[in-house]
Chain A
């Protein structure tokens, strides 16, 4: 149990376009979802926390107008990178948490974004 999926697993887009990444909890209700960014050979950096039905809380330094997060249901959160630039290229990982999993975070497999 406690499986989290992400789609797509990798995506290449052109500079200036937008790309949407989906994060789904497959077998539990995720009241909270977290979005992380990971640069090569570095640790995970929390970008934002989203609670179902509420606006996301962004970490300091993360542009909320550039990284749009939606958490409209208990099983789905989306991260949209708007007007992507090459410096947005990274590995994006989501995690999901909820009461039924004792508030532990379960991680998705990640999405590798390359902006050309």
Chain B
């Protein structure tokens, strides 16, 4: 069975500061890892994903995540956040049957 743990339910940060949202997973097989972002009253948008290859993956809006197999982690980072990054972020792992298991979510609150 797979599971995903997001250690921080909320992360407050000031604008232009760096941020890291932590994600750890457990799986007995090869994993595909995802980060999704959810704005209030909206569905999920794919932020970035790791399927294979380079362990560092980037999104178009400055986020990046690094797959660390030894630590079973896939932490999300951004060197300088904006007010518009305020949202809920979900880490997820996909199994062979294409089903996603989500972490509990982390609410990123960017303050001016």
Contact = CB atoms under 8 A, between A and B. Distances in A.
Contact of B43 (A43, A49, A97, A110): A110
Interface of A: 4, 6, 32, 34, 41-44, 46, 49, 91, 93, 95, 97, 103-110, 112
Count chain A CB atoms within 10 A of each CB in B43, B49, B103 and give the residue with the most. B43
B102 interface: yes
B30 interface: no
14 contacts: A6-B43, A32-B98, A34-B99, A34-B100, A43-B90, A43-B102, A43-B104, A44-B44, A103-B98, A104-B46, A109-B42, A109-B43, A110-B41, A110-B42
Contacts of A49: 99
Interface residues of B, number: 17
Contacts of A4: 43
Contacts of B102: 43-44
B72 interface: no
Given A42-B105, A43-B103, A43-B105, A105 B98 contact: yes
Contacts of B103: 43
A25 B99 CA distance: 18
Contacts of B27: none
Contact of B41 (A34, A107, A112): A112
Contacts of B44: 44, 93, 95, 107
B52 interface: no
Contacts of B80: none
B45 interface: yes
Contacts of B43: 4, 6, 93, 107-110
Nearest to A109: B43
Contacts of A107: 36, 43-45
Given A107-B43, A107-B45, A112-B41, A42 B104 contact: yes
